[in-house]
Amino acid sequence: MVSSQKNPPAPVAVEERLFSLVLALLATDAGLTKNEILSTVQGYRQRYDPAGDNTSLERQFERDKDDIRELGVPLETTEPPGEPGNNQSLRYRIPRAAYELPADISFSDAETTLLNLAAMAWREGSLSRESQRALLKLRSIGGDTSEPVLGYAPRIRTRDAAFDPLSDALSRRLIVSFPYLKPGDAAARLRTVSPLALVQHQGRWHLKGIDNGVGEPRTFLLSRITGPVKLSRQGFELAPGTYASSALEELDEIWESNLAELEVRPGTDAAVRLSRRRGAEPGDGDRVRLHFTDVNLLADELAGFGPEVRVLGPAHLVDAVVTRLRAAVRMHSPAPEGEAG
């Protein structure tokens, strides 16, 4: 008997899906509806069912919107006149004026040549034939895609080195081991894990798995895996369950319960990036309230903004940022006279 079920579409790398989404939203002045995006953009259209249920695909699009906003991309949503409250008619776009380099920045001929070569290498190396076909399809619905998209490419987060071996272990149901540096520890510790799911949350990849050292489920941030992931020959039984969905729900609960109170200097890079985050809430004056999942990751980022941001709370976030700023001062302070540099 020949099965009538179609083969599932080949997976599209998340970097390519985000790149294609930004490219599509930059290419239109009027904006694209959700259905136009899901049916035409590489990474969505392969799974889009024009006559079926696209709920999971719409959730993916919502997460992707959060991710590109977190990267500092100015994604706008507009409501058509005469259709207030109709979410299906909302249009999404990225205004070029808010995304392009300021007019007062210029490059020498040599710098321009190097930038053009870099852009060419990016386009040839990362934009697949499928994405190029998607550009042609976007033109057919009115998108102007003749201009190259130069600003976005270097800012897409590539996958962590641990992603591919962990994905392989998941598909083969093999136990893995890797060195993991937990915040506050002086050195990485070897973890042995039965992987259950790989999920992306707030632009970062996480592994949900059973930590065999304690016999309990744990969530690991892939960027904290400091060495090679080793696949064992030992398999494990995977009970039926929606591990990816439950992992995302847990991360969302943590994100919802943590709220930072910030004072952000207007007109700065910090103001642009932080105010466009998912769930960012403007406060009095220059204040912004921001949900977060990991205090250490947020502290690293906020410390990097320097004087553009003042952290008001919670206390453990204030302490984490102050610790990083003091460490930076010590690192860049001259050694006392008479001591070796």
Residue 25 is predicted with a pLDDT of: 84
Q: What does the alpha-carbon distance between residue 41 and residue 256 come to, in Å, rounded to a whole number?
A: 30
Residues 241 and 254: their CA atoms lie apart, in Å, by 21
Q: What is the CA radius of gyration of the chain?
A: 23
- Ordered by start, the domain boundaries in the chain are 14-155, 163-250, 258-332
Q: What count of other Cβ atoms lies within 10 Å of the Cβ of residue 105?
A: 7
Overall pTM > 0.75: no
Given phi > 0 = left and psi -120 to 50 = alpha, else beta, which region is 337? beta
CA distance 302 to 310: 8
pLDDT truncated to tens, each residue of the chain (341 aa)? 444 445 555 567 777 788 888 878 887 777 888 888 888 887 888 888 888 888 888 888 988 888 888 777 888 888 877 666 666 678 898 887 666 666 666 667 676 666 655 555 544 444 444 454 444 444 444 444 444 443 444 444 445 788 889 988 988 899 999 999 988 788 999 999 999 988 878 778 899 999 999 999 999 999 999 999 999 999 888 776 678 888 888 988 999 999 999 999 998 888 888 887 877 888 888 899 999 999 999 999 999 999 999 999 999 999 999 999 998 888 877 766 655 54
CATH T-level fold of 163-250: SH3 type barrels. (2.30.30)
Going edge to edge, which strands form the sheet with 76-78? 32-33, 91-93, 76-78
Going by C-beta distance under 8 Å and a sequence separation of 6 or more, which residues neighbour residue 341?
Answer: 334, 335
Identify the three-state secondary structure at position 114. helix
Phi, psi values for residue 326, rounded to 5° = -65, -40
pLDDT at 126: 46
pLDDT of residue 27: 73
Supply the pLDDT for residue 272: 84
- SS3 assignment, position 74: coil
Check if the beta carbon of residue 26 is closer than 8 Å to that of residue 19.
no
**Sheet bearing 230-235, strands edge to edge:** 216-221, 204-211, 189-201, 174-180, 230-235
Dihedral, 120, 124, 126, 129 alpha carbons, nearest 10: 140
CB 179 within 8 A of CB 225: yes
Helices (H), the chain: 14-26, 34-40, 55-70, 96-99, 109-126, 129-140, 163-172, 243-257, 269-275, 295-304, 315-332
Distance, in Å, from the CA atom of 177 to the CA atom of 182, rounded to the nearest integer, reads 15
3-state secondary structure of 24: helix
Give pLDDT, residue 35. Answer: 87
